[in-house]
Amino acid sequence: MAGPCAMAALRARRGAVRGLCRSLSGKNEYDLLVIGGGSGGLACAKEAAQFGRKVAVLDYVDPSPQGTTWGLGGTCVNVGCIPKKLMHQAALLGSALKDAPHYGWNVAHPVHHSWSVMAQAVQNYVKSLNWGHRVQLQDKKVKYLNMKGSFCDPHTVRGLTKAGKETIVTADNIVIATGGRPKYPTHIAGALQYGITSDDLFWLKESPGKTLIVGASYVSLECAGFLTGIGLDTAVMMRSIPLRGFDQQMASLVTEHMESYGTKFLKRCFPTKVEKLESNRLQVTWKNTDLGTEETDSFDTVMWAVGRAPDTKTLNLERVGVKTNSETGKIIVDASEATSVPHIYAIGDITEGRPELTPTAIAAGKLLAQRLCGHSSELMDYDSVPTTVFTPLEYGCVGLSEEAAVQRHGADNVEMVCLREREQRILGLHFIGPNAGEVIQGFALGIKCGATYPQLMKTVGIHPTCAEEVTKLHITKRSGLDATVTGC
Q: What does the alpha-carbon distance between residue 150 and residue 316 come to, in Å, rounded to a whole number? A: 5
In angstroms, rounded to a whole number, what is the distance separating the alpha carbons of residues 174 and 276? 45
Q: Is 374 left (phi over 0), alpha (psi -120 to 50) or beta?
A: left
Q: Among 305, 224, 299, which residue's Cα sits nearest to residue 263?
A: 224
DSSP state of 425: B
Dihedral angle computed from the Cα positions of residues 332, 336, 339 and 341, in that order, rounded to the nearest 10 degrees: -160
Q: How far apart are the C-alpha atoms of 198 and 208, rounded to whole Å? A: 12
Question: How far is it, in rounded angstroms, from Cα 44 to Cα 32?
Answer: 9
Helix, strand or coil, per DSSP, at residue 331: strand
Measured CA to CA, the distance from residue 34 to residue 36 in angstroms comes to 6
Instruction: Tell me the three-class secondary structure of 352-414, residue by residue.
Output: CCCCCCHHHHHHHHHHHHHHHCCCCCCCCCCCCCCEEECCCCCEEEEECCHHHHHHHHCHHHE
Question: For residues 358 and 79, what is the distance between their CA atoms, to the nearest angstrom?
Answer: 12
Asked whether the beta carbons of 471 and 460 are under 8 A apart, the reply is yes
Residues 6+ away with beta carbon under 8 Å from 439: 396, 431, 433, 466, 467, 470
- For 26: left if phi > 0, alpha if psi spans -120 to 50, otherwise beta; the answer is left
Distance linking the first and last C-alpha atoms of the chain? 80
CA triple 9-10-14, angle to 5 deg: 115
Letter string b/e over residues 411-450, b meaning 16 or more CB atoms within 10 A of that residue's CB: eeebbbbbbeeeebebbbbbbbeebbbebbeebbebbeee
Helices and strands in the chain, H and E counts: 14, 21
**Residue 110, preceding bond cis, omega within 30 degrees?**
yes
Residue positions annotated with a catalytic role: 463
Q: Residues in the chain, how many?
A: 488
Q: Please tell me whether residue 345 adopts helix, strand or coil conformation.
A: strand
- Taking the C-alpha atoms of residue 202 and residue 445, their distance in angstroms, rounded to an integer, is 33
What is the maximal distance between C-alpha atoms in the chain? Answer: 81
